[in-house]
Amino acid sequence: MTHVTEPASRRGDGSQHPEYEAAVAGGALNSEGPGTAHRYRNVILGGIAILLLAMAMLTSYSSAFGNPTPNNVHLAVTGDADAIVALEQHGSLDITVVASERQARTAVLDRVVDGAVVLPAPGEGAAVTTYIASGGGRGLGQAVSGIGDSIAAKLQATNTATDLAPLPAKDPVGSIEFYAILFAGLGAALGATVFGRILGTVDTAAKFVERSVVLVLYAGLLAGLITLWIDSALGAVTVGPWAVMGVLWLTGVAIGGAVTGVAALGGSIAALAMTLALVILGNTSSGGPLGIHVLNDFFQTLYAVFPQGGALDLLRSVQYFDGAAVAAPIIRLAIWAVAGVLLTLTAMLIRNRRDAAARSMHGLHPERGSRQAAAPSGADTELTAVTHGSTSLPSVPGR
């Protein structure tokens, strides 16, 4: 008796989604697919994951920006010695004593300090002069101005606040540069992840060069579009647009390069985790439109870890401080870019050594390859299933 075993696709013993192959095998994305085998379990797990992500973002952003309070504010002071001694007792301030009012102004403009206070000698008509820099963070500028008011009240004097780096009229809150950095980083991270899925694993020198060129060109295009929008549409660029574009380009290359390196070493899941960390913690630890020294100690610590803080400082230095104090943020962004390159090269080295070891093992045991070559194919297996257990039939002469 002949037993015929049909392939599963020909049996017709179960209903299949009409576009199953396209949905599962990376085909056209115009179908949601047949769903998963454990539908309700996966719905619960997926829902919990999304809820946790939403709550993580809410917790991070509200904790960072919800209640700005002066914390480690760098302040230059000059004037009455007794008043300076009393001011040094303030726990939230990092005091730098300078010799003159001119030096205090210079320290603010050079971004050595967040603000400056000139303290008068006690007496009739005493006046406190406070120098702020809203371009370094509007919330920080308001905090320094408030410190000057508090000092003046204790000295029974008046306070005059002078903004040495004012924000433009079309960006009075100072939020546009923060959003520019936010979306330059987010766009670069997502682009690096998508390019990894499209171009494949970086496992050769040619692919490394290809990915690098694509990432640099994409980051440049992204930076150009963001600059065009905030300059032409919003009027928030106070210097030459090429300088702003250069900052955003460097930001995109640094973040995109780092995500590329993480993806090369840990795959798309690792790249996604890196992107989420950048969005949830990196953006908030930059200080946003408020400034870093009105955040709590936790976010001030993360400020030194993630690249967005350095990128935002660099953009503010270019926009409002004539390029003062740009070396440190450039170095921070360069470290992220170089780290991405090193991670990618490390992943290439590990992968190539693994492949070489596999080839060496194959050379030491060639019989394995012979057995694999001699193994029956799927068609041979079906033919065996057809003929197994059957009896030889006599030939039938032609009719």
Q: Is the pTM of this model over 0.85?
A: no
Q: What's the CA gap between 223 and 181, in Å, rounded?
A: 9
Sheet holding 158-163, edge to edge: 93-97, 73-79, 115-119, 127-132, 158-163
pLDDT for the residue 148? 93
Tell me what pLDDT residue 107 has: 97
Tokens of 228: 């065009």
Tens-digit pLDDT profile for residues 304-330: 999 999 999 999 999 999 999 999 999
Question: How many Cβ atoms from other residues are within 10 Å of residue 44's Cβ?
Answer: 11
- Please identify which residue in the block is written with the tokens 């290809």: 210
The predicted pLDDT at position 10 comes to 44
Task: Please list the pLDDT of the chain residue by residue as tens digits (399 residues).
Answer: 454 444 444 444 444 444 444 444 444 556 666 777 788 898 999 999 999 999 999 999 999 999 999 999 999 999 988 888 888 887 789 999 999 999 999 999 999 999 999 998 877 678 999 999 999 999 999 999 999 999 999 888 999 999 999 999 999 999 999 999 999 999 999 999 999 989 988 888 999 999 999 999 999 999 999 999 999 999 999 999 999 999 999 999 999 999 999 999 998 899 999 999 999 999 999 999 999 999 999 999 999 999 999 999 999 999 999 999 999 999 999 999 999 999 999 999 998 888 888 888 877 665 555 555 555 554 444 444 444 444 444 544 444
Q: How far apart, in Å, are the Cα atoms of 133 and each of 138, 143, 277, 288, 310?
A: 8, 11, 30, 15, 18
Name residue 142's amino acid: Q
Half-sphere exposure of 341 (CA within 13 A, CB side): 13
Residue 155 pLDDT:
86
